[in-house]
Amino acid sequence: MALVDARGAERHSGIVAWLKTEHGLSHGNANFVALSAKRASANGGDNDHVDAMYAGPKATLRPFHDQVIERVQSFGADIALAPKQAYVSLRRSKQFGTVGPGPRGQLEIGVNLRGVPPTGRLQAASGMCTHRIRLSSADELDAEVLAWLHGAYERA
């Protein structure tokens, strides 16, 4: 990780290729080292990831984000938050949701509710979550949204 850090800012794929070519690491190990080094160099903390996520024009969404996190944490003491580059993963025994800035100044909440048909604000999604909910204001964080989040928490 020190070698990666000394190399300076570079795209993830470039670091992986360099570790494989110059240091003989397997792809999996090179990927792990590259991810670990990038996370460690992100100025050292989970709050730094969240701060970076809500920098600039997205700063107005940060209090809304914090409100969602506070409500989710009230579901139980077994919740773990795992900030990523573009969202915060909500975890129990497995990931049950995500929270992060979305398009057009909205907050995007992802939930894993396999088998639940999308309807209204509960939109189908692909990737890390089965559904997404895009909210424009804290007023939209209502009982319906909290029920979806709690349902995903219960399934995890």
Pairwise CA distance, residues 25 & 9, whole Å: 20
Helices 62-73 and 143-155 meet at what angle, rounded to 10? 50
φ/ψ of residue 61, rounded to 5: -85, -15
Based on the fold, state whether residues 74 and 109 are members of the same structural domain. yes
φ/ψ of residue 83, rounded to 5: -60, 135
Based on the fold, state whether residues 13 and 68 are members of the same structural domain. no
Beta strands in the chain (DSSP E): 80-83, 88-91, 95-101, 107-111, 123-124, 131-135
Based on the fold, state whether residues 63 and 13 are members of the same structural domain. no
Predicted pLDDT at 41: 53
Based on the fold, state whether residues 85 and 108 are members of the same structural domain. yes
Segments of the chain with pLDDT less than 70: 9, 38-47
Based on the fold, state whether residues 20 and 71 are members of the same structural domain. no
Based on the fold, state whether residues 107 and 143 are members of the same structural domain. yes
- The Cα-based distances of 115 to 2, 97, 126, 141 in angstroms read 45, 15, 13, 23
Based on the fold, state whether residues 60 and 33 are members of the same structural domain. no
Pairwise CA distance, residues 11 & 89, whole Å: 23
Handedness of CA 18, 22, 23, 26 (dihedral sign): positive
Please count the helices (runs of H) and the strands (runs of E) in the chain: 6, 6
Domain count, the chain: 2
Q: What is the span of the domain harbouring residue 113? A: 56-155
